[in-house]
Amino acid sequence: MSTLKVNSIIPTGGVATGAGGGIIQVVQKVKTSAYAASIGSTETVPTGMFATITTKTDTSKVLVFVNMTLMVDGSYNGSQWKLRRNSGTDDVTVSGSSNIFVGDADGNRDQATMAMQGPTQSTGAYNGFSCGTQFLDTPGNAGAYTYFIGFRDTNTSANFFYLNRGYNDANDQTQPRSTSSMTLIEVSA
């Protein structure tokens, strides 16, 4: 015989007004394939680094978790990535999207979620490093929202970003393949 004991059960529509914090739904996108691209000043979205959630209420919040294994090429000053959001399903168009978690504007400085300085191919590093962020977003209305990552390099027009792989991608044990993910959790307000 089994016994189930709980303190409360939260309905999928969330908790009553004023009693926020209930998890309504969870969406996760896992990227296990490798990605490499030459990135310049135009933001580039890596294939598959996005997730879409359809919020159920106008007051819902979305808790975003991003985890990536990254490496950048030798000339890494100015390398950065941004967490972005678009209305709609699977829309990863940079133009018109919202930067939802970036630093303050200040003079000529660019705004980013995270600047990239770490292991590079020119320092002899073979593999990337784990980086990520989490952010509690308030999209505003019930509906579909796509969250995604945009890579950019403001210093050079030919800097490579490597996701889930090392810089030379040799077929040996020094160049493991890794994973990246994005998890979206709708939370009642």
Looking at the predicted structure, is the pLDDT value of residue 161 above 70? yes
State the residue range of the domain holding 37: 23-187
pLDDT in the model for residue 12: 59
Residue 1 included in any domain = no
Residue 43 included in any domain = yes
**Residue 106 amino acid letter:** D
Greatest alpha-carbon pair distance for the chain in Å reads 67
Residue 48 included in any domain = yes
Residue 114 included in any domain = yes
pLDDT in the model for residue 135: 95
pLDDT in the model for residue 151: 87
pLDDT band of 189, cuts 50, 70, 90 = confident
Residue 99 included in any domain = yes
- What average pLDDT is seen over the chain? 82
pLDDT digits (tens, 9 = 90+) for 66-118: 999 887 766 556 678 899 999 988 888 888 888 898 889 899 888 888 877 65
Instruction: Assign residue 128 the CATH number of its domain.
Output: 2.60.120.1340
> For the chain, how many structural domains are there in total?
1
Residue 16 included in any domain = no
Residue 18 included in any domain = no
pLDDT in the model for residue 143: 95
Residue 9 included in any domain = no
- What percentage of the chain reaches a pLDDT higher than 90? 34
